[in-house]
Structure 1
């Protein structure tokens, strides 16, 4: 039961406030959020108690060299691959694990088995596709190797043990697969009037991460849980029919071999232009897309210090680009590739503008963009991110296209730079990214797409009774809850932490330090928590527990207001209560009858041993009203008890 607003009474010539406190049923137990210890493990030589990588932190490395050919008629990729795997761990290895994500599209996969009959974005969206890898050969250091495939994992037995602390080996693979048209909203094939667009991801076998937390982290790819990958360099040669254009992660090494002299000059112009330069126009696409291929072309890409590599190919691409200015003085290149169906001034014609603005903002605000290009591809994915390249839906326009472009490129920072374990802790990249997107949206083009919504308006979504805790693994959540729990609630939590708890200056310093410390490394949630606490200088166990580990709610209320000795000149005695389980700082706006106002703030510490708190406000004027959280910065589930008004 919640409190109704309490009203001001006027008695004779004395002006005073009197309230009758209505009995409140509080669900708050102050011992729960502030319980100690929050951390159940101490720091060690691999991960410091301060949140830094420890003095003996290590991670393994995977470098890839791949030759791949696309047969667009069959939708088939055929590849030959070499992995150089370096074991920097203190452990000797007698086997290694690889991820075979394409096997999720086999009819008998574990991922397919858990997809509901309707309304799922995973698998092939209810189709009858039967995909997966055809493995032709596996070698280790040139010797044929024994291997065992279990769903989306491959275990390779090593002919000789791989020594610890820096030893390496080479794994050779030959394989092929048929691409699904719709691949869990992360890859696929889109039909357009000028040809198919192939957006290729999760296309090559990648090393499973071996770390100091779990050893081999072999969770299968079921669909909802995304990726956890080692860093290294990737060199990829992509052979396609000569009439197709290819864009990919990293730097194109052989531009002169695949573009005409005129197109090369336009690329050079784009590298020095803040305005978008068209490389291949809609007119040119319409005129040439259906010309028969004269053999094949091989497009050569390289990307360094990466956790993945993706690419796209089509005869249908309009191509345009503009330079990206980075804080250090370095340059990158914003590129867009899209069909004529996506063209238009309020549609994909603005894509490169959006890419440039997004990358420049995040580089200035948090950490500099590391790749030579940033490419936005129109495909049949709602939106999906990879190092240096993203896939966004070809029908997106206006605010929708800005939002998905900015979101997917925000993922360059989480998890491409800060390489957290998405499969277990999806909130640690999607939630962080949703948070930084909110700041970027306000910044873009003087607030062109800025939102006027408040955090309070989201309370019913954030604290829905059907929700699991945010720390739940994505594969263990109801699919309908993933958007809230992986994206929106943790993103809102960081916004609240920044604006209501720490303040922007302290938060931003700590958040930047987290990115700097864990760039191209593998942080756990505790590494994030400890970094934020140590740099900001605040014990936040209560906050993490309330927002991420539980399904608690927030409800603050004003329960009593009266003047000291019935004299408004002596100040007001105000009582506030915490009626639900989440404690938060208190902000009150006192409005006076003369039209002036005053803000009062109370720290979260008032709730450390109390479910209600009475304090004196040094007011000297008659009060018209008092409002809790006047700007709607907290997701209070019952704002009706947040306002006290005086009788007239």
Structure 2
């Protein structure tokens, strides 16, 4: 997700350009050396190998639901929530009303005596917990609030032929509601919850859901977090009922049918597939939409000039009902406006499949370098991520310019009206990238935000390299502190800050100052290090793809990720989990005492002493530069420091050395680069 224009510049983790890192990760034939590890030196005052290489205690234990190899276990289960909704917007009062039926299936081995719902519109109430929460970047202003969700009726319908609705007993607690069940819901049991409610749509201050006017006076409704939805009941905690304080979502997967009734002059962009396009589009728009489904070039379905043309709508007055459907999703959202431009193009997916990329935006966003490019950015992002990580699973990917900018949902994202140029590409790639994390692989964002923000930021790095051969690369839009420092040195500053939280902190406990540096930046850099320096491209890609495939449409925990990367990567990564995720340990490698084996004859080789002065361990490149301008690259594996803090590295040289430097390309976050170079 994104938050503001300033934060948009800092959302994507700094990263070394892909082409440069690949060249260093795979040095020329004959130049790479894996040094012998003689028994020299032991622990130092600043480095204890027994601490770094201690066994890593996974946060969650392996069991029949979650296997030791990181994949779902033989008895893995998750519950399902299907939704049918009939919503309408009263534009005179800016009120949304909804008639909602949830069909909830209990696939767990447990009998449930109550049900929990998320009621997130209550975050806009005056008495909401989020208003008193010290963190949270999207809290409503102190003088602006709504009544939240106003329940008109809540009924339960048993899964039995002829069962009649029964009035439910329920209690609302902040952004949650508990429904007591008169008859417990057994395993494989099913029950329907019928809810009628309404709420006042908050203004622009609503953040993730809002209404306001575009420059030409048309209202844009961005409708998200708009319906009571089931909390997750899982094998880790039972009901996971954390209140909504600012970090995002944890929801059940299911199938959605929803209907939105609005004034007939409005277009409605929604998650999933538009089912009744013949009812809500003109014949011309239907034909252009069909053309877009087969066109790699962007097709304009409704132009700027047509916004004020009543003939661009199939009905001149009254209302129209838009019907959307989406399967196997964790959420659904929509936007509505009479002032939308609409364009679309075909997305090419693996195995010859296709989907549709489309954009909706107001006239003020129609600058050629702005929103008319977004459908192309979206198309490129979906195609590349589908090839690299997992095929895009839905028929449409929609991007909307509105006032809830920088926010992601399944099959649809909201971005900023004034986005353009590189900024537009960056935010599009990031928000669309969230399709994979957490819309397909749904981690618990309220507890482990790093598993969606960081993972998505990581894959964004490569999308910048791909698009038009790196037109907007490298992605180094985010800095922890101003200055020309490399990405690794930016991370070193994060790690060195004694107040910085660790990655494995509870998401809501991470202060805004550290949210991007830790949740996005450090998490993404961890995956980058795994791919580029620890496991290598081939091993990492196979392991990461298996993780994505195994947990697609499921709920992985941090332990599942750690286990799968170790099992499929073939490495004990305890030292890395300890240093990078569980702690903010610093790294400081020092080079000293370059000496020839025979001072009178450089052709007999040399050695350099490498010292480990920090607690964080990472593989590192040592580059020997010769006086004749050539060089030799040697990679020190993490195991170099398994028993000691000092290592005499033999240099198989045959000519005079100019210098020996640790990590000259600044790939790792060395906290003190002043001691990285030594000379004979």
Measured against the shorter chain, the TM-score band is over 0.9
Which of 608, 615, 633 is matched with 2:667 structurally?
A: 633
Distance 1:238 1:294 in 2: 16
- Aligned with 1:285: secondary structure? coil
Distance 2:493 2:146 in 1: 37
Distance 1:484 1:408 in 2: 18
Q: Offset of 1:115 from its aligned partner?
A: 4.6
Q: Offset of 1:25 from its aligned partner?
A: 8.2
Distance 1:420 1:170 in 2: 26
Please name the residue that 1:73 is paired with. 92
- Aligned with 1:322: secondary structure? strand
Unmatched tracts of structure 1, length 5 or more: 1-23
Say whether the 8 Å CA contact 2:461–2:475 is kept in structure 1.
Answer: no
Please name the residue that 1:138 is paired with. 154
Distance 2:342 2:365 in 1: 12
Which of 519, 537, 544 is matched with 1:511 structurally?
A: 544
- Aligned with 2:320: secondary structure? strand
Structure 1 pair 607/379, CA: closer, same or farther in 2 (3 Å)?
A: same
Structure 1 pair 31/183, CA: closer, same or farther in 2 (3 Å)?
A: farther
Say whether the 8 Å CA contact 1:430–1:487 is kept in structure 2.
Answer: yes
Distance 1:250 1:185 in 2: 22
Q: Map 1:357-396 to 2 at 5 A.
A: 357-396=380-419
Please name the residue that 2:602 is paired with. 568
Which of 421, 425, 431 is matched with 1:402 structurally?
A: 425
Q: Offset of 1:72 from its aligned partner?
A: 2.0
Distance 2:311 2:377 in 1: 26
Distance 2:412 2:98 in 1: 21
Query: 186-195 vs 342-351, which deviates more?
Result: 186-195
Please name the residue that 2:120 is paired with. 101
Which of 418, 421, 425 is matched with 2:441 structurally?
A: 418
- Aligned with 2:508: secondary structure? helix
- Aligned with 2:383: secondary structure? helix
Structure 1 pair 125/625, CA: closer, same or farther in 2 (3 Å)?
A: farther
Q: Map 1:124-523 to 2 at 5 A.
A: 124-141=140-157, 142-164=165-187, 166-182=188-204, 185-192=207-214, 193-223=216-246, 225-288=247-310, 294-451=317-474, 454-463=486-495, 464-523=497-556
Distance 1:125 1:326 in 2: 43
Q: Is 1:559 matched up with 2:592?
A: yes
- Aligned with 1:516: secondary structure? helix
Distance 1:293 1:127 in 2: 38
Say whether the 8 Å CA contact 2:306–2:312 is kept in structure 1.
Answer: no
Query: 127-136 vs 492-501, which deviates more?
Result: 127-136
- Aligned with 2:307: secondary structure? helix
Q: Offset of 1:462 from its aligned partner?
A: 3.0
Structure 1 pair 594/363, CA: closer, same or farther in 2 (3 Å)?
A: same
Distance 1:153 1:579 in 2: 49
Q: Offset of 1:457 from its aligned partner?
A: 3.8
Q: Offset of 1:91 from its aligned partner?
A: 0.5
Q: So what's the TM-score if we normalise by structure 1? A: 0.93
Distance 2:422 2:493 in 1: 22
Q: Map 1:522-601 to 2 at 5 A.
A: 522-566=555-599, 567-601=601-635
Query: 308-317 vs 542-551, which deviates more?
Result: 542-551
Q: Offset of 1:218 from its aligned partner?
A: 0.6
Say whether the 8 Å CA contact 1:420–1:524 is kept in structure 2.
Answer: yes
Q: Offset of 1:288 from its aligned partner?
A: 4.8
Q: CA RMSD in A?
A: 1.8
Show CA shifts across 1:501-544 (max 9, x none): 11011111100000000000010000000000000101111111
Say whether the 8 Å CA contact 2:597–2:604 is kept in structure 1.
Answer: yes
Q: Offset of 1:369 from its aligned partner?
A: 0.2
Distance 2:61 2:304 in 1: 59
Unmatched tracts of structure 2, length 5 or more: 1-42, 158-164, 477-485
Please name the residue that 2:14 is paired with. none
Show CA shifts across 1:184-225 (max 9, x none): 6322123111411111110011100000000000110011x2
Please name the residue that 2:7 is paired with. none
Structure 1 pair 591/288, CA: closer, same or farther in 2 (3 Å)?
A: farther
Please name the residue that 1:64 is paired with. 83
Distance 1:423 1:122 in 2: 15
Show CA shifts across 1:405-437 (max 9, x none): 100111100111001101000000100000000
Structure 1 pair 37/67, CA: closer, same or farther in 2 (3 Å)?
A: same
Say whether the 8 Å CA contact 2:413–2:432 is kept in structure 1.
Answer: yes
- Aligned with 2:598: secondary structure? helix
Say whether the 8 Å CA contact 1:310–1:389 is kept in structure 2.
Answer: yes
Which of 64, 82, 85 is matched with 2:104 structurally?
A: 85
- Aligned with 2:408: secondary structure? strand
Distance 2:436 2:308 in 1: 37
Say whether the 8 Å CA contact 1:121–1:184 is kept in structure 2.
Answer: no
Q: Offset of 1:30 from its aligned partner?
A: 1.5
Please name the residue that 1:32 is paired with. 51
Query: 385-394 vs 286-295, which deviates more?
Result: 286-295
Distance 2:493 2:101 in 1: 47
Q: Offset of 1:381 from its aligned partner?
A: 2.9
Show CA shifts across 1:590-639 (max 9, x none): 11011111101111001111122112111111011112112221122222
Q: Offset of 1:27 from its aligned partner?
A: 2.5
